[in-house]
């Protein structure tokens, strides 16, 4: 794969706009199904986002059931519980309402409803045997994961303290309704952590070994949107404009990394989440600047582009200084939005790092990283971040 040889896939239809979620009942009916299971979580319910959607579906004459037992960074048991509930309710349609956790849970439920077995059997690339007959609509309420359009589901295997990724083109939702107004209620800390996850998606995919022109274009635009709006979204979450730009930024980043994949911030982040039970966004935010410093020498030009997209003054700087300005810009952003920038703030100890490096080196995204690390180098990055 290179600049003149690439495949760009986008299996999910996207409808974007303030209030677009009102289209849901009409869209469900277009699929000629009528027993909807909404997969969500208690936080989304408490924020008042579920009730109007549930009512709009019921008012349209559809049968609605709700599975709201999804926890952040969901475990494998949750997927099995959701699949059992889907079967019990005789549902034939899935709506995922929430952040990456409910969206990935719905993807997992769909796999089990179609093919049975244990969800762990589908971990890795292309283990899902066929396209689903159950339509899935994703409705994101965070500006973060991009899961509304991605071919990935990331789940926590607490038996082995690792995050597993299921990746298959058959995981992509049929329709994503991206309504920025649903993100207004996200509290500052969740806005900050999920926003840094979206930024990491855009940055990692832009420098990935599988980088390609369409994904590059989406990623650079996403970096600029997130760089210009994340602070404002954290400072005053009730303003629709920065929220709309963040929703767009995380969507574009999702479309990009669906095609050009990610790098070792996500490998180390998965290890950190597995070992120390740190939420995905927080883990990613704490690691990103250190990984950027490590990676910069692999592609000074592209890291310079990132600095520029983040609004840094790069005129007159050497290529090397531009590249390192990108890492510094991300570090300043993390600090401004009050996220931890040291692993010790999560209770991580030096003796934990070797196990984390060992688990990260086996992660699928290491191969896509612009610089090829060995286990010792991953350990060194973690030590710097400690
Ligand atoms: N599938 C993918 O492509 C992909 C990519 C990156 C990350 N992930 C996974 O997604 C998960 C993380 O998802 P996330 O970061 O979106 O967070 P999340 O879904 O875990 O939500 C975090 C918290 O925010 C609350 N919340 C969400 N929206 C809210 C709103 N509008 N108002 C008030 N509260 C709200 C939830 O109730 C929850 O308590 C992780 O498991 C991660 O590994 C998946
Ligand atoms: Fe992520």
Q: In this structure, are 80 and 129 located in the same domain?
A: yes
* Nearest atom in ligand 1 to 104's CA: 1
Residue nearest ligand 1's atom 36 by CA? 43
The answer on 36 and 156 residing in a single domain is yes
Domain tally, the chain: 2
- Does residue 152 fall inside a structural domain? yes
Whose alpha carbon is nearest atom 42 of ligand 1? 280
Q: Compute CA 373 distance to the chain's CA centroid, rounded to the nearest angstrom.
A: 23
Q: Domain check: are 290 and 147 in the same one?
A: no
Burial of 236 (0-12, 13-18, 19+ CB in 10 A): exposed
Contacts with 339 (C-beta within 8 Å, 6 or more apart), sequence order: 189, 192, 193, 196, 282, 285, 286
pLDDT by residue (tens digit) across 87-138?
999 999 999 999 999 999 999 999 999 999 999 999 999 999 999 999 999 9
Residue nearest to ligand 1 atom 17, measured at CA: 99
| Residues spanned by the domain of 104 | 13-183
What's the confidence (pLDDT) of residue 146? Answer: 98
Q: Does one domain contain both 248 and 143?
A: no
**CATH number for the domain harbouring residue 42:** 3.40.50.1970
Residue 2 lies in a domain: no
Q: Tell me the pLDDT tens digit for each residue of 231-274.
A: 999 999 999 999 999 999 999 999 999 999 999 999 999 999 99
- The answer on 129 and 35 residing in a single domain is yes
Query: Do 143 and 197 share a domain, yes or no?
Result: no
Backbone phi and psi for residue 4, each to the nearest 5 degrees, phi listed first: -105, 20
Residue 149 has phi, psi (to 5 degrees) of -120, 0
Asked whether residue 236 falls in the same domain as residue 126, the answer is: no
Ligand of minimum distance to the alpha carbon of 278:
1
Nearest residue by C-alpha to atom 22 in ligand 1: 72
Domain boundary, last residue among 183, 205, 240? 183
| 38 occurs within a structural domain | yes
**Domain co-membership, 324 together with 223:** yes
Distance from the alpha carbon of residue 153 to the mean position of ligand 1, in angstroms:
12
Rounded to an integer, the average pLDDT of 369-378 is 98
Give a yes or no: residue 206 inside a domain.
yes
| Binding site membership of 75 for ligand 1 (Cβ less than 6 Å) | no
Give yes or no: residues 134 and 56 share one domain: yes
Q: Please choose from 42, 44, 76 the residue to mutate so as to test ligand 1's pocket, defined by most ligand atoms within 8 A of CB.
A: 44
**Distance of alpha carbon 257 from alpha carbon 253, whole angstroms:** 6
Q: Which long-range contacts (CB under 8 A, 24 or more apart) does 376-384 make?
A: 377/294, 378/264, 378/267, 378/268, 379/353, 379/354, 381/264, 381/268, 381/287, 381/290, 381/291, 381/294, 382/268, 382/343, 382/353, 382/356, 382/357, 383/350, 383/353, 384/290, 384/293
pLDDT at 286: 98
Q: What distance in angstroms lies between residue 3's CA and the mean position of ligand 1's atoms?
A: 33
- Is the C-beta atom of 92 inside 6 A of ligand 1? no
Instruction: Establish if 68 belongs to a structural domain.
Output: yes
Q: Are 120 and 248 members of one domain?
A: no
In a domain, 303, yes or no: yes
Containing H/E element for 208?
none
**Is pLDDT at 2 greater than 90 in this prediction?**
no
- Residue 157 is assigned to a structural domain of this protein: yes
Please tell me the distance between residue 152's alpha carbon and the centre of ligand 2 in angstroms. Answer: 10
Q: What three-state secondary structure class fits 44?
A: helix
Q: Domain check: are 166 and 274 in the same one?
A: no
- The pTM score is 0.98
5 domain-assigned: no
Residue at which a domain ends, from 183, 216, 238: 183
Cα–ligand 1 centroid distance for 273 (angstroms): 14
Percent of the chain with pLDDT over 70: 99
The residue from 143, 163, 183 where one domain ends is 183
Q: How confident is the model over 258-314, as pLDDT tens digits?
A: 999 999 999 999 999 999 999 999 999 999 999 999 999 999 999 999 999 999 999
- Using alpha carbons, list the distances in angstroms from residue 90 to 19, 64, 66, 94, 240: 30, 11, 12, 11, 38
Mean pLDDT, rounded, of the chain: 97
**3-class DSSP state for residue 218?**
helix
- Of 142, 146, 150, 260, which is best to mutate to test ligand 1, by the most ligand atoms within 8 angstroms of its C-beta? 142
190 lines ligand 1 (CB under 6 A): yes
Q: Is 72 in the pocket of ligand 1 (CB under 6 A)?
A: yes
> What is the residue with the minimal CA distance to atom 24 of ligand 1?
190
Give the model's pLDDT for residue 4: 79
Tokens of 113: 């409803």
Alpha carbon distance 248, 222 (integer Å)? 7
Q: What is the pLDDT of residue 1?
A: 52
100, 140, 154, 226: residue to mutate for ligand 1 pocket, most atoms within 8 A of CB: 100
Task: Give the pLDDT of residue 328.
Answer: 98
Nearest ligand to the CA atom of 273: 1
Which ligand 1 atom is nearest residue 183's CA? 31
Confidence of residue 161 (pLDDT cuts 50, 70, 90): confident
Tell me, using a 6 A CB cutoff, whether residue 154 lines ligand 1.
Answer: yes
pLDDT in the model for residue 190:
98
Q: Are 318 and 376 found together in one domain?
A: yes
* CATH number for the domain that contains residue 226: 1.20.1090.10
pLDDT number for residue 204: 98
pLDDT tens per residue across span 345-366:
999 999 999 999 999 999 989 9
Mean per-residue pLDDT for 170-192? 98
Which is the closest atom of ligand 1 to the Cα of 194?
A: 15
């Amino acid at each position: 794969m290179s600049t003149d040889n690439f495949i760009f896939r986008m299996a999910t239809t996207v409808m974007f706009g303030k209030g677009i979620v009102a289209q849901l009942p009409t869209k469900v009916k277009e699929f000629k199904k009528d027993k909807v299971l909404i997969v969500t979580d208690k936080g989304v319910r408490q924020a008042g986002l579920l009730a109007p959607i549930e009512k709009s579906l019921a008012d349209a004459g559809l049968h609605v059931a709700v599975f709201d037992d999804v926890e952040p960074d969901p475990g494998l048991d949750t997927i099995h519980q959701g699949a059992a509930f889907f079967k019990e309710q005789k549902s034939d349609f899935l709506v995922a309402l929430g952040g990456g956790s409910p969206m990935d849970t719905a993807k997992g439920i769909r796999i089990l409803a179609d093919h049975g077995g244990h969800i762990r059997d589908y971990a890795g690339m292309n283990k899902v045997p066929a396209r689903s007959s159950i339509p899935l609509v994703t409705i994101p309420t965070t500006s973060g994961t991009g899961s509304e359009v991605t071919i990935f589901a990331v789940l926590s295997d607490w038996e082995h303290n690792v995050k597993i990724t299921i990746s298959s083109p058959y995981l992509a939702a049929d329709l994503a309704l991206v309504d920025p107004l649903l993100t207004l209620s996200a509290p500052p800390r969740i806005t900050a952590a999920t926003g840094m996850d979206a930024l990491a998606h855009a940055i990692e995919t832009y420098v990935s070994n599988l980088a390609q022109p369409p994904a590059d274009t989406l990623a650079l635009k996403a970096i600029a949107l997130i760089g210009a709006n994340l602070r404002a979204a954290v400072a005053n979450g009730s303003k629709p404009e920065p929220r709309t730009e963040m929703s767009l930024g995380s969507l574009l980043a999702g479309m990009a990394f669906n095609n050009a994949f990610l790098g070792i911030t996500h490998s180390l982040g998965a290890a950190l989440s597995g070992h120390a039970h740190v939420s995905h966004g927080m883990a990613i935010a704490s690691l990103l600047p250190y990984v950027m410093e490590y990676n910069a020498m692999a592609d000074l030009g592209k890291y310079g582009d990132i600095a520029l997209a983040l609004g840094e003054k790069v005129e007159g700087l050497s290529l090397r200084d531009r590249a390192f300005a990108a890492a510094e810009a991300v570090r300043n952003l993390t600090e401004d939005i009050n996220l931890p920038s040291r692993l010790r703030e999560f209770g991580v100890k030096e003796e934990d790092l070797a196990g984390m490096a060992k688990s990260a080196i086996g992660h699928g995204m290491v191969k896509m990283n612009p610089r090829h690390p060995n286990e010792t180098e991953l350990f060194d990055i973690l030590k710097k971040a400690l």
